[in-house]
Structure 1
Amino acid sequence: MKIKSIELLKVNLASTFIWKVFSEFVAHEYPQEGINTFKEFIQPEELQKMMENEKIFMLGCFDMKKLVGVLAIMDFCHVSLLFVDKEYQCKGIAKTLFAKALELCLQKNQELREITVNSSIYAVPIYKRLGFNITGEPATNNGITFIPMKMNIIKK
């Protein structure tokens, strides 16, 4: 398995992969409005625009040439996407992607004290295993229900 940056040329691949995993595990939690909002957010053009503006960076986990995991961080402090292929879940891919992303965030901002995420209900246990804690009540925005979570960064 190899962790690599998702470059602009691979955004279509990442978008398709994210949609597949989202549809399988998360979409059933959302009304149509939320599904539409999410689908809009992961459109290749939208992701490319955010990447070009350095608003977001994306990492992919590849098994040979097959994309099996994606993580995106917004503003070097907020997890906006984390998806792992069904066949590769519970194998440490999310943990490895997050560790690499955290390393990149700390390189960019050595004063970073916390990473946040608005977790789907499905992913709360995953984020808890990564070290995140729930910081508020479930909320809904544009049809997407989420649970706010954060992880404090402890400097060594």
Structure 2
Amino acid sequence: MLIRPMLGADVVPVAQLLHTLALTFIVHDMRPEAAATFLRDNDAEAIARHLERGFAYHVAEDDGAIAGFVGMREGSHLFHLFVGTPWQGRGLARRLWDCARMATIAAGSAPPFTVNASNYAVPAYLRLGFVPTGPMMEKNGVRFNPMRWPAPPD
């Protein structure tokens, strides 16, 4: 498994992976208009715009297939972290998060980092060391759980 910076040629397969996973794990319980907005806001054109704006993306490539990807916004917000179902449960999300975190720190940013986790992803983020910072929220029909890494000191 190779983890590398995302290239322009990766945008379409990354968007396809996000779309497939979003249908299964994120938008299935949204109102139709909210689901359509979420999918549009995370399509290939949107991801290409994020790259142009300086979001730092990495992909995990397995035998030529995109197994997962991670994207950081503004050096402090974990914007995307998706792992294809065949690769889930193998530590790939941790490897992607570690890569993104280390690259972000090397570029001059420092913790804490934030994420808006879907309900499905909360357990995975907890395993990565994120902690909730408030109750579940909803914006434009999209439910999310604000979290941060690392946990604040006691």
TM-score by length of structure 2 reads 0.92
Structure-1 separation of matches of 2:44 and 2:116: 21
Q: Quick one: which of 139, 143, 146 aligns to 2:144? A: 146
Q: Quick one: which of 112, 117, 120 aligns to 2:118? A: 120
Offset of residue 53 of structure 1: 1.9
Q: Is the 8 A contact 2:5 2:57 kept in 1?
A: yes
Aligned equivalent of 1:77? 76
Aligned equivalent of 1:20? 20
Q: Give the 4+ runs in structure 1 shifted more than 4 A.
A: none
Aligned 1:5-154 pairs, distance under 5 A: 5-54=5-54, 56-110=55-109, 112-152=110-150
Offset of residue 153 of structure 1: 8.2
TM-score by length of structure 1 reads 0.91
Which secondary structure state, in structure 2, belongs to the residue aligned with residue 122 of structure 1?
A: coil
Gapped runs of 5+ residues in structure 1?
none
Structure-2 separation of matches of 1:78 and 1:15: 19
Offset of residue 29 of structure 1: 2.9
Q: Which residue identity lines up with residue 14 of structure 2 in the other structure?
A: A
Offset of residue 144 of structure 1: 0.5
Percent identity over the alignment is 27
Gapped runs of 5+ residues in structure 2?
none
